[in-house]
Amino acid sequence: MKEQLDWKRRLSPAVNSIQPSSIRRFFDIASKMEDVISLGVGEPDFVTPWNIRESCVYGLEKGYTSYTANRGLPELRKEIVNKYKRQYDVTYDWETDVLVTVGVSEALDLAMRALLAPGDEVLIPEPCYVSYQATARLARGVPITVPAKIENEFRITPDELEPYVTDKTKILVIGYPNNPTGAIMSRDDLLAIAKFAEKHDLIVISDEIYSALTYTEQGPICFASLPGMKERTLVMDGFSKAYAMTGWRVGYVCGNPTLIAAMTKIHQYTMLCASIMAQMAATEALRNAEDSMKAMVKEYNRRRKLIYNGFVKMGLPCFEPKGAFYIFPDISPTGLTSEEFAEQLLEEEHVALVPGNAFGASGEGHIRCSYATAIDKISEALVRINRFVQKRM
């Protein structure tokens, strides 16, 4: 039926320029099928640890149901500041340098809107999380994607970024451990990026939401802890992944006070504050849930090894992910595109995963599998994927 009003013309060009995320498309199909194993959504299969949930129940019982300060509960901001001091020796002021947001999702949006003038360019290594490009576009910026290479385990280097720099480049977004590849950057890799940011006078948005899920001895590195980087870096992290708190919608951003104040203005008018219940729960997470978090990370690590060995045995080129809870095998030996692979696998073997091109053009030829699911399900999924792959090789 023809619409009476020409909505496409009336909608903002920025909104028209973005597509809905294709990640969920397969889950909508999968949800109508029986016996489907999903390696799709980037969401922990654990429920939030009990003491965190209980702190929320307690807060409700006591009648904590109001707004909070725009920037977030002081006790939560103090715990965030303590974490950065303790873990990375980075000093933030809880009153001026921290903003509690509705997930890292909101923090990304605020950062782009606070920083970008129309036409400013944002360098985004790819494959990457789907929001980076969309939030840049919605803020009237221009996302410039830079392909990272599997030969380099999807790490990005200044030499790869350099050809994309123009006099409009304003922001560099980095996200390690990476969604969808599971890549991490070494200290030396990051130091090289720091030099590059300094040379081109860029603001760095460092999405560290998977920092707790780093499976190396070296552990996570906070970009703001590198020499000279605190001033020009917005560090973002949250509770969704590390504490199995996706539904609570709480995260935070730390950075320069002038920039945080600018982001707080937007937050004040659009969100007002993150929910008080979620903030109380997040405070408890930082105070008393380290052991539960570490137990979950240990389990992800066990699954990571299983799924990596499974793909290697199948004969699909694959590098060992070192962080987050994703693996990103190369499926080109099957002769299928990533969409064909995902569609046919779902139809034939009832396994749902995400085609690599959902994370940008350079993800084509790959699939993203999340191992945030029970180990017996991962084992069964590997049997099914292997059956599917061997028919095509």
Chain positions 220 to 259 lying near ligand PLP, rule: CB under 6 A, are: 238, 240, 246, 251
Q: Which two tokens stand for residue 87?
A: 């873990």
Q: Does 310 bind ligand PLP (CB under 6 A)?
A: no
Decide the pairing of beta strands 354-355 and 367-370: antiparallel
CB of 92 to ligand PLP, least distance (A): 19
CB of 44 to ligand PLP, least distance (A): 11
CB of 175 to ligand PLP, least distance (A): 5
CB of 105 to ligand PLP, least distance (A): 3
- Write down the residue that tokens 């060995």 correspond to: 309
Task: Return the DSSP state at 333.
Answer: G
> Which residue among 207, 244, 280, 327 contacts ligand PLP (CB under 6 A)?
207
Q: Does 129 bind ligand PLP (CB under 6 A)?
A: yes
Binding track over 51-90 against ligand PLP, x by CB under 6 A: ----------------------------------------
Four-CA torsion 223, 140, 257, 73, nearest 10 degrees: -90
The residue among 103 and 127 lying less far from ligand PLP, judged by its C-beta, is 103
| E strands present in 345-389 | 351-352, 354-355, 367-370
Q: Does 363 bind ligand PLP (CB under 6 A)?
A: no
Alpha helices in 102-178 (DSSP H): 103-115, 131-138, 158-161
| Beta carbons of 255 and 90 less than 8 angstroms apart | no
Considering only 44-52, 83-91, 102-110, 266-274, which stretch makes contact with ligand PLP by CB under 6 A? 102-110
Q: Does 42 bind ligand PLP (CB under 6 A)?
A: yes
The residue among 81 and 104 lying less far from ligand PLP, judged by its C-beta, is 104
Considering only 100-108, 140-148, 164-172, 269-277, which stretch makes contact with ligand PLP by CB under 6 A? 100-108
CB of 194 to ligand PLP, least distance (A): 20
Which residues share a beta bridge with 254?
A: 98, 235
| E strands present in 283-388 | 326-327, 351-352, 354-355, 367-370
Query: How many chain residues touch ligand PLP (CB under 6 A)?
Result: 13
Q: Would you put residue 180 in left (φ > 0), alpha (ψ -120 to 50) or beta?
A: alpha
- Write down the residue that tokens 């993150």 correspond to: 274
| Beta carbons of 154 and 319 less than 8 angstroms apart | yes
Neighbouring C-beta atoms of residue 261, cutoff 10 Å = 14
Q: Does 342 bind ligand PLP (CB under 6 A)?
A: no
Residues contributing to the site for ligand PLP (CB under 6 A): 42, 103-105, 129, 175, 179, 207, 209, 238, 240, 246, 251
